[in-house]
Chains A and B, each alone.
Chain A
Amino acid sequence: MNSMTVTADGVISSPATARADLDIREHEHVSHYQTIGEPFVDNAKMSARNVNVFYDDKQAIFDVSLDIGGNEVIAMIGPSGCGKSTFLRVLNRMNDIIPICRVQGDISLDGDNIYGSDQDTVLLRARVGMVFQKPNPFPKSIYENVAYGPRIHGLAHSKAEMDEIVETSLRRASLFDEVKDQLDKPGTGLSGGQQQRLCIARAIAVSPEVILMDEPCSALDPIATARIEELIDELKANYTIAIVTHSMQQAARVSERTAYFHLGKLIEVGDTKEIFTMPKHELTENYITGRFG
């Protein structure tokens, strides 16, 4: 145990990979860099420009510019601690909870700066939902879990309307058939994969436009993972999805575009197929060929 370290992402890194990290740090000392590939798209739903993120004095994101196109699935990959999760959280201001975190640069949703003074997090987070690494249903019934968002935002005006929202959301998360007879049972009693789909249902109950997923399958077994991946495929018709993953296979399976982060920098962005077949940057190539991870 003592020769291994657990990183912030919960990934256990062995001494070998730690040494690889060290090498890269040594020859990649530039603070100015050029993102390779196509960070910008025509139908951007969200766009980030020159974003820097700091935790106290420590900089976690360096000058990242990236568009997330409407109804696309974009995957963010990179070694642990590369800032991909931080970047995702900045997109719906979840980092506001952390007092020491500062964000510079512009991030807009449909052209409105989400860090603008006239913006509030309530509406933003309703529009940009989030699904977390570990399934985190509330210790309430399945029904109440899904109804939570509509209830706090006042979206349903009658019991019938709420029932409908709950059912639709559960159906869209392809969970309804499994739980329709036990809607009043606690959500924490479901299996891990079901819990995660419940969390997705909970997120889409407020009809967000963008869904951010932070390694949604990292705590699930392969079968449950496959179901979530299928679900993502179905969801992209209605939602824009940004997914952080440490699994390159998953990125290749579900996403249309892929962004490769390294030590807080956005190294390369592009069509998923191109990234995985013809990476342009040496670091991207090293990562996807498994030289470090």
Chain B
Amino acid sequence: MSSANSYKNTAAIKASLKKRYARERRFQWYGRIAVMTGFVFLFILLADIVGKGLPAFTQQYIKVTLDLDADRLGVAPDASEAELLRADYLGVIRSSLRDMFPEVTDRKEKRQLYRLISIGAEYDLRDAVVDDPGLIGQKFDKWLLAHAEAASYLKGQVSRDLPEGDRKLKNTQMDWLDSLRDRDRTEGRFNTLFFTEGDSREPELAGIKAALYGSFFTLLVTFLLAFPVGVFAAVYLEEFAPRNRLTDLIEININNLAAVPSIVFGLLGLAVFINFFELPRSAPLVGGVVLSLMTLPTIIITSRAAIQAVPPSIREAALGVGASKLQTVFHHVLPVSMPGILTGSIIGMAQALGESAPLLMIGMVAFIMDVPGGVTDPATVLPVQVFLWADSPERGFTEKTSGAIMVLMGFLIVMNALAIYLRRRFELK
């Protein structure tokens, strides 16, 4: 362009342009790559968990032809319930398995054959017989729960290519399972035990019910303490606190507590609640108190923001008709800011639900089979259950771990979605 030449710097600037635009494009690509990196990490994380965890929701059963011979059971059909409970169901299952594979005679091989079926199957059968003693003396097909190792082969997780010494399931066991599958005697079903049982040493019997209840009781304590205290503290700091050193001290403390590592709260719980007050170890009560101290800063900070967002005109209107400060706050300010406060509280509760480090300190890492019935019973929580299972060497627990993570994340997603929904509605106003 001829006319542009009248400008003295045209040449210099034009000379620099190519390089500068190249740098600009490069810079934009760095940004895009950074965003994509975050996405890729998230995708890999979720895909990994879901890929590992989905099999946890199916369970393998093996159809065994049971011969409930009264002699084998060692009990007559008209026996009392106590006698029925003591009958030899394990023996029946084992002999029935031998009947299905008559070629197995070696003692070692027999033991391997028995190991295809979960030890839980015995109790299953016992319950069935106690329910209906008429079954005694009959011969019938029954689906029995497969052992975790057998189940993982049936799900295709163990390959024959692996050297036999490196796997728990031996070639003969795989042959039997193949033959059972060929005879349509294996089946995968939805894993209800996962939701109805507590922890177990056997992966196929382990469930998250105890941990779910533990989490529920812990969060209940957390919420009952943290919500009112947090909201009251926020109200005080926003509406009543005088500008003085004490208020400053409180504010500094809240801000710092928000950044204190969670494990330090665990140390506090251990030293104060367990050692000094001698409250029960492993109890949701102590866990809930510790978590409530931990989530308190979150709730206070978000509640303060919500209270701040209430237009002063509402306060002036209420004060103007003669309401006291306290009435103004509780009748007018709090109801208006409640969606914001709830949003913050739900986010705080979600944090507490996912937290595990401080709970390790106060002994909520115990092996808990029984569902806790209250806040002082020994319990564990969902994330700690994940931690415990992740530590277990059996491969069956890997899928349980991922399955439990999926349940945990499901709860977190619901809570966060609720918080986002509330925030959206709040913003619309």
Contact = CB atoms under 8 A, between A and B. Distances in A.
Contacts of A209: 6-7
Contacts of B7: 126-127, 207, 209
B259 interface: no
A207 B9 contact: yes
Contacts of B4: 110, 112, 123, 127
Contacts of A152: 20
B1 A153 contact: no
A259 interface: no
Interface in A121-167: 122-123, 126-127, 152-155
A51 B16 CA distance: 31
B3 A155 contact: no
Interface in B19-62: 20-21
B20 A155 contact: no
B12 A110 contact: no
A153 B3 contact: no
B12 A155 contact: yes
B3 A126 contact: no
B162 interface: no
Contact of B17 (A112, A120, A207): A120
Contact of B12 (A109, A120, A154): A154
Interface residues on A, range: 10 to 19
Nearest to A156: B12
B15 interface: yes
Interface residues of B, number: 16
A117 B6 CA distance: 20
B14 A123 contact: yes
A75 interface: no
A153 B8 contact: no
A206 interface: yes
A97 to B, nearest CB: 15
A176 B35 CA distance: 46
B13 interface: yes
A153 B12 contact: yes
Interface in A84-130: 109-112, 118, 120, 122-123, 126-127
A122 B3 contact: no
A118 B3 CA distance: 14
A152 B16 CA distance: 9
Contacts of A109: 3
Nearest to A116: B1
Contacts of B12: 153-155
B138 interface: no
B244 interface: no
B13 A122 contact: yes
Which of B1, B9, B10, B21 has the most C-beta atoms of chain A within 10 angstroms of its own C-beta? B9
A126 B8 contact: no
Nearest to A123: B13
Given A112-B1, A155-B12, A122 B17 contact: yes
A155 B17 contact: no
Contacts of B13: 122-123, 126, 153-155
Contacts of B3: 109-112
Interface string A196-222: 000000000011010000000000000
Which of B6, B13, B14 has the most C-beta atoms of chain A within 10 angstroms of its own C-beta? B13
B21 to A, nearest CB: 8
Contacts of A123: 4, 10, 13-14, 17
A126 B9 contact: yes
Contacts of B6: 110, 209
B320 to A, nearest CB: 15
Interface string B122-140: 0000000000000000000
Contact of A154 (B1, B8, B15, B21): B15
Given A112-B4, A123-B4, A206 B20 contact: no
A112 B7 CA distance: 13
Contacts of A153: 9, 12-13, 16
Contact of B8 (A110, A112, A118, A207): A207
A204 B10 CA distance: 15
A127 B21 CA distance: 18
Given A122-B17, A122-B20, A123-B17, A155 B1 contact: no
A94 B66 CA distance: 85
Contacts of A127: 4, 7
A111 to B, nearest CB: 5
A130 to B, nearest CB: 16
Contacts of A155: 9, 12-13
A109 B4 CA distance: 8
A111 B4 CA distance: 9
A264 to B, nearest CB: 30
Nearest to B16: A154
Nearest to B8: A207
B243 to A, nearest CB: 24
Interface string A212-253: 000000000000000000000000000000000000000000
A203 to B, nearest CB: 13
Contacts of B8: 207
A80 B4 CA distance: 35
A239 B10 CA distance: 16
A41 to B, nearest CB: 17
A154 B16 CA distance: 7
Contacts of B14: 123
Which of A118, A120, A154, A209 has the most C-beta atoms of chain B within 10 angstroms of its own C-beta? A154
Nearest to B313: A2
Nearest to B10: A123
Contacts of A207: 7-9
A37 to B, nearest CB: 27
Contacts of B1: 112, 118
Nearest to A206: B9
B275 to A, nearest CB: 52
Question: Top 8 closest A-B pairs, CB basis?
Answer: A110-B3, A154-B16, A153-B13, A111-B3, A127-B7, A112-B1, A123-B13, A155-B12
Given A122-B17, A127-B7, A154-B13, 18 more contacts: A110-B3, A110-B4, A110-B6, A112-B3, A120-B17, A122-B20, A123-B4, A123-B14, A126-B7, A126-B13, A152-B20, A153-B13, A154-B15, A155-B12, A155-B13, A206-B9, A207-B9, A209-B7
24 contacts: A109-B3, A110-B4, A112-B1, A112-B3, A112-B4, A118-B1, A120-B17, A120-B21, A122-B13, A122-B20, A123-B13, A123-B17, A126-B7, A126-B9, A126-B13, A127-B7, A153-B9, A153-B16, A154-B12, A154-B13, A154-B15, A155-B12, A155-B13, A206-B9
